Structure 1
Amino acid sequence: MTSFFGRTPLSGPVGLIINPIAGTDLRRLTSTAAFMDNNMKVRLARSVVGGMVGVGIKEFAVMPDYLGIYRSLIDSLSSTGIEISPLDMEAEGKPEDTRVAVRELKKLGSPLIVSFGGDGTVRIIAEESGDTPILPISTGTNNTIPYFTEGTVAGLAAGYFLKGLVEPDRALVRAKKLVIEVNGKEEGIGLVEVSMTNYPFKGAAMIDVSRVLDSVISIANPGGIGVSSVGGMITSLGMSSRSALRIVFGGSKKVRAVVFPGVVKEVGIERFELVPVGAEIELMRGQYIEADGERLFHVAENDRVTVEVSKDGPFLIDVPSILNEVTSRGIALL
């Protein structure tokens, strides 16, 4: 990290990736999850940008999207003197848009990518981001990683880091990642959890926890929702902890957990165990792989699916740590 990050200000446009469908999927029909409309996303993005502008960050690049959220954001900032432009890419309304956007931002030398979405959005960014830090802002449903916070505060914290005023070891946390392999070939990653389910059909969102058969959980958060919450009611594991939690579901033991906003269920557990970083776990047979609250792909009956617990996940902006450092060192005193 020392060779990549320095105390001198980092240059290049800050990347803004606003997931157009985050906070709008069908889980709003089966739970009390909040709806995040386009105007709310624009206002939140403006707040994050405003926080960074407050410490002198004025260059931004935003991912185009098929709903035109990016145009509304650019128009709303047109008279502020901020340099903000769309990335040179075509938006198709697919997850691949995010991957393409991250690649374009890396070509531009972006020092930071701001994710507006849920855990799934951060996961897709992390597939391509490498060592480029991510500031995850919540606009989605599963929000174990993204901050549910006032955008200006998060932007201000990120700005202090970009200006070189807070060292990387105080400003960033490196998350674990869960590497999914099918028959020895890498097929994707998870950041919060990876699960085998018995869903028989394709779908974007994982809905019913009772269909989860086997999970490896990187972040077990008792204050979260979904599979992470189930794990968190057994033990608490943070982003940078040196262990993951494996749970085999369906037994007589019960765990009461928040599976969606407004929905608490007693979930059957057969067994669980802590597994160290570096371990590889073979999941039991099933039909669909799910990661971070979303179904990813179908697997055949005889496919061998393994999950490796890796310490080399994405670098994430640690907003509370940065602000504590700013206060303790008097950086904000002018």
Structure 2
Amino acid sequence: MSQAADSAAGPAVGIVANPLAGKDVRRLTSGATPVSDAVKIGAIRRAVVGAIEGGAERVLISGDRARLGERALAGLEVPGSVEVAEPHGWHTGRDSQLAAAQFRDEGVGAIVALGGDGTQRDVVTGWREAPLVPLAVGTNNVFPIPTEATVAGFAAGAVASGHADAAEVTWQAKIIDITAEGSQRAEVALVDVCLVRSAFVGARAIWDLGSVSEIVAAIAEPDSVGLAAVAAAVAPVGRKEPGGIHVGLGCASGNARDLQSYRHIRAAVMPGTYSDIDVAHCEQLRFGQPVTLSGPGVLTLDGEREIVLGRGERADITVNPDGPYVIDVGAAVAAAQRRRYPFGPAVAGR
């Protein structure tokens, strides 16, 4: 793959497929079914077909140690150019971050990202304002949407080629910015940031809610599963609504404010699992309003442990409006079809 965008090569769609998505420890401790490589290979294959049909002339697929892209292309014949990038070799979320940044530099017009909340966060870490179809193939799927890969690819191809106007068929998602003392770089999340009172980072996924003390969520919708479901039970906030929510867990103190907001709830914290949770307080957040979380503990970003805070170390968390541009799949497909098949208005009664 070349290192500079070649405008003469035609409109391009990038496909990021995380081989680790849907295989974390939560699959062993809940009722969820692991997502096999075969499922991902089939989704990549269908997304390629859809992207070419939608108007893309190039499709670039992220490389990985499991060779998902190569296996998806075996025996597939489509017009245009389809290639798999060289794997970056980390076999972690870093691969998805680097693939997204590479796609941006290659002049890709839209990305189809296969994975859960963690994979989508990795893609946005690599390309913050990516035109994105987030395809749900993970354990926690709050941010990505359950869409057939064929039409997801078509929508991305339509946006990349201009057959659908990106300004009309995308919306800009919220993003959570995290600046922690001692961290080498700022981090982001798309759904939630949690403070876990534990220094253990080995298993990155969160499955024991008893150690979670605070949650900052940008998305807390009633049909969420995971830590966002806890916030949604007390103060729902939609993905297109401004701001977010800050929730403190644990028994209420003697403080009058805490006693007034104390709640005992049950929420779907993992697929197939409801848990009892004590909510000590909650606060609605405006865009840009900082929340300071203090150690000792570990910050989880979209359900995965990422940042260790020592005793007295702090992190500032803010929900902001300038995240990725999410492609409305239905709107993009409809816009491309109207342009492709410009029939007049239907005659009433026929």
TM-score w.r.t. the length of structure 1 is 0.90
CA distance in 1, matches of 2:118, 2:164: 28
| Of 165-174 and 252-261, the range deviating more from structure 2 | 165-174
CA distance in 2, matches of 1:90, 1:166: 32
The letter for the 2-side match of 1:13 is A
1:267 and 2:266 matched: no
Shift of 1:58: 3.4
Partner of 1:201: 200
- Over 3 Å counting, the alpha-carbon distance change for 1:23 and 1:184 in structure 2 is closer
1:305 and 2:304 matched: no
Partner of 1:249: 249
Shift of 1:326: 6.0
CA distance in 2, matches of 1:166, 1:13: 14
CA distance in 2, matches of 1:279, 1:163: 38
Q: Percent identity?
A: 27
Secondary structure of the structure 2 residue equivalent to 1:220: coil
CA distance in 1, matches of 2:240, 2:179: 22
Partner of 1:62: 61
Partner of 1:92: 90
Deviations 1:11-62 (A, max 9, x none): 4431111101101112111101121111110111112222222233231111
1:319 and 2:329 matched: yes
Q: Is the 8 A contact 1:135 1:317 kept in 2?
A: yes
Residues 284-295 of structure 1 aligned to structure 2 (within 5 Å): 284-295=294-305
Deviations 1:75-127 (A, max 9, x none): 242x3334211224532312221222122212211111211111111111111
Shift of 1:284: 4.2
CA distance in 1, matches of 2:11, 2:200: 43
Q: In structure 2, list runs of 5 or more residues that go unmatched.
A: 1-8, 252-261, 344-350
Partner of 1:44: 43
| Of 296-305 and 168-177, the range deviating more from structure 2 | 168-177
- Over 3 Å counting, the alpha-carbon distance change for 1:332 and 1:229 in structure 2 is farther
Partner of 1:224: 224
Give the aligned length. Answer: 324
Shift of 1:325: 5.1
Deviations 1:239-297 (A, max 9, x none): 23211000001135212211111101121100001010011111243411001111112
Q: Is the 8 A contact 2:216 2:247 kept in 1?
A: yes
RMSD value over aligned CA atoms?
2.2
- Over 3 Å counting, the alpha-carbon distance change for 1:82 and 1:36 in structure 2 is farther
CA distance in 1, matches of 2:293, 2:276: 22
- Over 3 Å counting, the alpha-carbon distance change for 1:11 and 1:312 in structure 2 is farther
Q: Is the 8 A contact 1:229 1:258 kept in 2?
A: yes
Shift of 1:323: 4.5
Q: In structure 1, list runs of 5 or more residues that go unmatched.
A: 1-9
Q: Is the 8 A contact 1:213 1:286 kept in 2?
A: no
TM-score w.r.t. the length of structure 2 is 0.86
Secondary structure of the structure 2 residue equivalent to 1:64: coil
- Over 3 Å counting, the alpha-carbon distance change for 1:239 and 1:260 in structure 2 is same
Secondary structure of the structure 2 residue equivalent to 1:241: coil
**Pick aligned residue for 2:148 from 143, 150, 154:** 150
Q: Is the 8 A contact 1:136 1:145 kept in 2?
A: yes
Residues 13-52 of structure 1 aligned to structure 2 (within 5 Å): 13-52=12-51
- Over 3 Å counting, the alpha-carbon distance change for 1:256 and 1:11 in structure 2 is farther
The letter for the 1-side match of 2:219 is I
Secondary structure of the structure 2 residue equivalent to 1:288: strand
Secondary structure of the structure 1 residue equivalent to 2:55: coil
CA distance in 1, matches of 2:277, 2:193: 17
Q: Is the 8 A contact 2:247 2:282 kept in 1?
A: yes
Partner of 2:347: none
Shift of 1:234: 2.1
Structure with higher Rg: it is 2
The letter for the 1-side match of 2:330 is P
Q: Is the 8 A contact 2:62 2:99 kept in 1?
A: yes
Q: Is the 8 A contact 1:195 1:291 kept in 2?
A: yes
Deviations 1:123-143 (A, max 9, x none): 111112133311111111111
Q: Is the 8 A contact 2:44 2:69 kept in 1?
A: no
